[in-house]
Chains A and B, each alone.
Chain A
Amino acid sequence: MNQHRRLAVRPLRGHIRLCINKTDSSSCPFRHQLPPTQTAPTSHAIPPPIDSIPPTSAPMAATALRDQLTALLSSMFSQGLVDEQFQQLQMLQDEGGTPGFVSEVVTLFCDDADRIINEIAAELEQPVVNFDKVDAYVHQLKGSSASVGAQKVKFTCMQFRQFCQDKSREGCLMALAVVRNDFYDLRNKFQTMLQLEQQIQAYDPKQQ
């Protein structure tokens, strides 16, 4: 089985540092479980397949990919998409020797959030909206967002709950649109992050 490297980005003294850790390829469920992107392509271009890159260019390509990953994660933190809790998960993975932990949690979150958003949408389509039920769903989404460090989604959920308490269908529908957009944006970036990690591992399997 090929050894491949999991990448963890850990902030250090206010800067994003790229830390390389070893893992084995079986502990990486995230890449197989994320649904396809459902919004417009992100600004983060996916690198070309490894077999199209001449072997002599592999180290340069790996470096470029690492730079791309660092930039992506840096932007996710600076845009407020993720917060310190996401760093905590990365540290748990790195320090606990549990490769694939971040992937696992992020995958669970994305699946769970997708389900909850669909449940909320269905509830808001009912002739009579059960706002307590909608609020309960939003509370769930807020909780799981906080647990993975999905800061922007969490904050949007906090505003959403206000519309639930006001029993405003229109407000809830607007908030749902914002939550959905924020979630899709985050999911796209998580997907790109994982794809970059896979490409880096493929280019540089010797890293231990």
Chain B
Amino acid sequence: MSTTTVPEPHVLAVDDSIVDRAVISRLLRSSKYRVTTVDSGKRALEILSLDRNVHMIITDYCMPEMTGFDLLKRVKESAELKEIPVVLMSSENSPTRIRRCLEEGAEDFLIKPVRPSDVSRLCSRVMK
């Protein structure tokens, strides 16, 4: 009898903070996801152009040059990428910002610091 190994879902985590990248990466790996971390929206788009096997993008909102919102828009405007769920994170609990992101197609908006329970809830819902 043969067994099939299900590959781990792949999450692309985007954050200009090296500390936050380490934390979110650990949180996602503890939920059994394969994680790629990058430090900018520009770099995220480069990764996405090379690897279409990304099941979710989780990105910080406030980043220099390309914000998480800009990245969200670029993903949702792309025919190849628009189906990938995008989650935004921010330390600022701004209802205007949150509404703006959800209206643009974000799956969720997490307030930092992100907790293990946030990631568990998110992944079980979004990855389905």
User: Do A and B belong to a common assembly?
Assistant: yes
Q: B74 at interface (Cβ–Cβ under 8 A)?
A: no
Q: Chain A residues with Cβ under 8 A from B19's Cβ? A: 105, 108-109, 112, 143-144, 147-148
Cα distance, A140 to B62, chains bound together (Å)? 9
Q: Chain B residues with Cβ under 8 A from A144's Cβ? A: 17, 19-20
Determine chain B's interface SS by DSSP, over half rule: helix
A92 to B17, Cβ gap below 8 A? no
Cα distance, A80 to B20, chains bound together (Å)? 21
- With beta carbons under 8 angstroms apart, the residue of B17, B26, B91 that contacts A98 is B26
- With beta carbons under 8 angstroms apart, the residue of B17, B30, B112 that contacts A112 is B17
| Chain A: number of interface residues, binned into ranges | 20 to 34
What is the size, in residues, of chain B's interface with A at 8 Å between Cβ atoms? Answer: 17
Q: A144-B17, A147-B17 are in contact. Are A104 and B22 (CB under 8 A)?
A: yes
B17 to A105, Cβ gap below 8 A? no
Determine chain A's interface SS by DSSP, over half rule: helix
Q: A195 at interface (Cβ–Cβ under 8 A)?
A: no
Cα distance, A98 to B25, chains bound together (Å)? 12
A147 to B23, Cβ gap below 8 A? yes
Q: Chain A residues with Cβ under 8 A from B9's Cβ? A: none
Contact string, B8-20, partner A, CB cutoff 8 A, digits 1/0?
A: 0000000011111
Shortest Cβ distance from B19 into A: residue: A144
Cα distance, A15 to B30, chains bound together (Å)? 26
Q: B115 at interface (Cβ–Cβ under 8 A)?
A: yes
- With beta carbons under 8 angstroms apart, the residue of A92, A148, A149 that contacts B116 is A92
Cα distance, A146 to B23, chains bound together (Å)? 11
Q: A142 at interface (Cβ–Cβ under 8 A)?
A: yes
Q: A85 at interface (Cβ–Cβ under 8 A)?
A: yes
Q: Could you show 11 A-B contacts with beta carbons less than 8 Å apart?
A: A88-B113, A89-B23, A92-B116, A95-B30, A104-B22, A143-B112, A144-B17, A144-B19, A146-B91, A147-B19, A147-B113
Which 4 pairs across A and B sit closest by C-beta, in order of nearness? A144-B19, A96-B30, A146-B113, A143-B91
